[in-house]
Amino acid sequence: MQGKFIKNLILLMVLNFLIKPFWILGIDRTVQNTVGAEVYGFYFAVFNFSFLFNILLDVGITNFNNKSIAQNRQLLTKYLSNILVLKLLLFGLYLAVTFSFAFFINYSAGQIRLLCFLAVNQFLLSFILYLRSNLGGLHLFRTDAMISVLDRFLMIIICSLLLWGNLVDQFRIQYFVYAQTAGYAITVLITFFLVVQHAKKRWLRLNWNFPFLLAIARKSFPFALLVLLMTFYNRIDSVMLERLLDEGARYSGIYASAFRLLDAANMIAYLFAVLLLPIFARMIKQKLAVEHLVKLSFTLIITLGAIVAASALFHATDIMKLLYPIHEGETVAEFAYRIERSSLVFSVLMTSFMAISTTYIFGTLLTANGSLGKMNLIAFSGMLLNILLNFLLIPVLMSTGSALASLFTQMLVAVTQILVVKRIFHLKTNKGLLIKLGVFFLSMLLFGWMSTLLPVNWHLQLLALIGAGVLLAMIIRLISIRQIYQLITYGES
């Protein structure tokens, strides 16, 4: 069973690395370059706003259903007919809350129209995740892995035709949203058909079972609250940028250009969490010591984070110029200002990647331990700090201020989670590891500065910096092939 888990996790990782980076850096980036930073910023702010209350569409149903179906496959038909009703009710609740807040913050008619489609997209995405939980519960891991990238694959095809197929005279941001709707809708239909086939029912009768729905709500509330709080402090930055500044859409677009790369980097940290959650849960249940695995996974991810951060600090401008050339109708001065601002945001956000990566390790351990009360308190503190810092910094530093607010918030959350884990699991302070990390961080700053002095183009400078970082990490034994093998084989033992 553990070998099957690892094989399917690898398949999931391969498919995600093939499809999702191309979506983020190929399609999504091209859309921004095509429509311009201000128009994309308008979309990005509304998109993140639609994300804020996304948890209301699920409230923990997906995790509950996955676990229940895995333990009792015969419950599939019963749960499916009940949960479909619940999903529709939650969609109504989500719409009521989302549009109430949209009117409260005085969204324009254009933003409300865009939000209508984005809200539908959020529902469709949530519905896909629920349907996939049935596939996972039935152990149809390969089918689930294929479905996990199907929506993005369809969107890539549709957007590619619209962007490069000469099907439209001028690409509009609305087309990007419609393409997402089509991709999600087709995926819902295909996945629903697959699930119904395994339910061995030609037709499903929708049921209303209030005690059943109430039981789900009670069990899932702490997790749902955690997701809601984390969503706020991770996604509210661009919303506040757009609301607090006169040229908010423009600065939201600048922020989006840097956030896109952080989002891509987070895929790696997320896959760590996917691998670690069931391993941590099993080790805690069996009362095994987690200290070695925590050290192993943290060392690997923080080393990667430091290399990413140093690369962004010293080569941000070159990376931004490569990814975001001058837009049609944009003056040279406007282009230079946009690159300068986005480079600063990129440097700050990618520095926060170290803190975010840390939370994927320690937050996953706390989740596996069932410490949701403590996690919610930490997340609530992070949300308050992030909103306060955004209010203070955005009027002065604009998009850079929002990035700094994110950095400080992620650092606070990461440090607090480490202290909580240290207390709960009685972990000892590893002074040797701290010294190694200190040496490595300072060396990466030195290597970054030295790389800019090399008499070669910036691509080779960047490769030299990354190579030096990996080599140093191996010399001082922060990472090794044996460590990576150990992390993978934890899932097989």
pLDDT of residue 450: 95
DSSP 295: H
pLDDT of residue 95: 96
pLDDT of residue 368: 82
Kindly tell me if the per-residue pLDDT of 7 is higher than 80: no
pLDDT of residue 207: 67
Q: Which residue has the higher pLDDT, 77 or 311?
A: 311
pLDDT in tens, 133-186: 888 777 777 788 888 889 999 999 999 999 998 888 889 999 999 999 999 999
CA distances from 479 to 6, 57, 491 (A): 21, 40, 19
Q: Which amino acid is at 279?
A: I
Q: Per-residue pLDDT averaged across 115-124, rounded?
A: 96
pLDDT of residue 361: 92
For residue 438, how many other CB atoms are within 10 A of its CB? 10
Q: Which residue has the higher pLDDT, 283 or 379?
A: 379
Q: Per-residue pLDDT averaged across 16-26, rounded?
A: 83
Domain ranges, ordered by start, for the chain: 12-208, 247-493
pLDDT of residue 204: 60
pLDDT of residue 279: 78
Please, which residues have CB within 8 angstroms of residue 30's CB and are 6 or more apart in sequence? 163
Q: Which residue has the higher pLDDT, 234 or 302?
A: 302
pLDDT of residue 392: 96
Within 398-476, residue ranges assigned H as helices are: 399-424, 431-451, 458-475
Q: Per-residue pLDDT averaged across 376-390, rounded?
A: 94
* Mean pLDDT of all residues belonging to the chain: 87
Measured CA to CA, the distance from residue 401 to residue 344 in angstroms comes to 10
Measured CA to CA, the distance from residue 138 to residue 461 in angstroms comes to 49
Kindly tell me if the per-residue pLDDT of 5 is higher than 70: no
Q: Per-residue pLDDT averaged across 445-449, rounded?
A: 95
Measured CA to CA, the distance from residue 319 to residue 277 in angstroms comes to 34
Cα torsion 135, 141, 145, 146 to 10°: value is -70
Whether the CA torsion 320, 321, 324, 327 is positive or negative: it is positive
Kindly tell me if the per-residue pLDDT of 417 is higher than 70: yes
Please, which residues have CB within 8 angstroms of residue 400's CB and are 6 or more apart in sequence? 341, 344, 345, 348, 393
- DSSP string for 377-408: HHHHHHHHHHHHHHHHHHHHHTHHHHHHHHHH
For residue 222, how many other CB atoms are within 10 A of its CB? 15
pLDDT in tens, 219-263: 777 878 888 888 888 889 989 999 999 888 999 999 999 999 998
pLDDT of residue 297: 86
Measured CA to CA, the distance from residue 360 to residue 368 in angstroms comes to 12
258-279 burial, b at 16+ Cβ within 10 Å, e below that, comes to bbbbbebbbebbebbbebbeeb
pTM: 0.84
H/E stretch holding 287 reads none
pLDDT in tens, 77-103: 777 777 888 888 899 999 999 999 999
351-380 burial, b at 16+ Cβ within 10 Å, e below that, comes to bbbbbbbbbbbbbbbbbbbebbebbbebbb
Whether the CA torsion 81, 83, 87, 90 is positive or negative: it is positive
Measured CA to CA, the distance from residue 75 to residue 70 in angstroms comes to 10
Q: Per-residue pLDDT averaged across 289-304, rounded?
A: 89
CA distances from 247 to 37, 43, 206, 334, 488 (A): 11, 14, 48, 13, 48
**Backbone φ/ψ region at 19: left (φ over 0), alpha (ψ -120 to 50), beta:** alpha
CA end-to-end span of the chain, whole Å?
10
